[in-house]
Amino acid sequence: MKIVTVCGMGIGTSVLLKMNAEKALRALGVDADVEAADIGTARGAARTAQLVLTSEDLADEIGDVPAKVVVIQNFTNMDEITKKITDALQ
């Protein structure tokens, strides 16, 4: 399974989100590849992914993709990330 985390440049906050998502996935015992992407390549990366994690304002810009787009309010809140990933995987 592939998960894409998205921020404006793909090198700052999306890497943070990637790390926290990986931590959440390890805790959940789910095996997945998490990849950080910038908003420019996110749409392409999302084509082969199951899940896209991003902030509220960027979610609109990703638009219609086959992957499920999940809005994360707080990139550092492990409870929120874990819960939203769990919900999305069901």
Partner 1 sequence: MEWLVVVLDFLGQQILNVPAYLIGIITAVGLIALRRSAGQVIGGGLKAAIGFLILGAGAGVVVASLDPLGRLILAVTGAQGVIPTNEVITAIASEQYGAQSAYILVLGFIVMLLLARFTPLRYIFLTGHHMVFMSLLLTVVLSVGLGEELGWLVVILGAVLLGVIMVVMPAFAQPWMRKITGDDTIAIGHFGTLGYIAAGAAGQAVGRRSRSTEEINFPQGLRFLRDSTVATALSMVLIYLVFAIWGLIALPTAEALDIFGSENQGAYIMAAFGQALQFGVGVAIILFGVRTVLGELVPAFQGIAEKVVPGAKPALDIPIVFPFGANAVLIGFLASFLGGLVTLVLIAVWLNPAFGLALILPGMVPHFFTGGGAGVFGNATGGRIGAAVGGFVNGVLITILPAVLLLVFGELGFANSTFGDADFGWFGTAIGVSLLGGPVIGVIVCVLIGAALVVGASIFQKRVVDTGWVPGARRDALLAEGSGAETATTTPDRPAGGRTQGKSGARH
Q: Please identify which residue in 3, 4, 7, 32 interacts with partner 1, judged by CB under 8 A.
A: 7
Stretch that binds partner 1, among 3-11, 46-54, 62-70, 82-90 (CB under 8 A): 3-11
Cα–Cα distance, 85 to 39 (Å, whole number)? 20
* List of residues 6+ apart from 16 with CB closer than 8 A: 75, 76
The site for partner 1, by CB under 8 A, has a size of 29
Q: Is residue 15 part of the contact set for partner 1 (CB under 8 A)? A: yes
Q: Which of residues 61-80 bind partner 1 (CB under 8 A)?
A: 61, 73-77, 80
Of 28, 32, 29, nearest in space to 53 by CA: 32
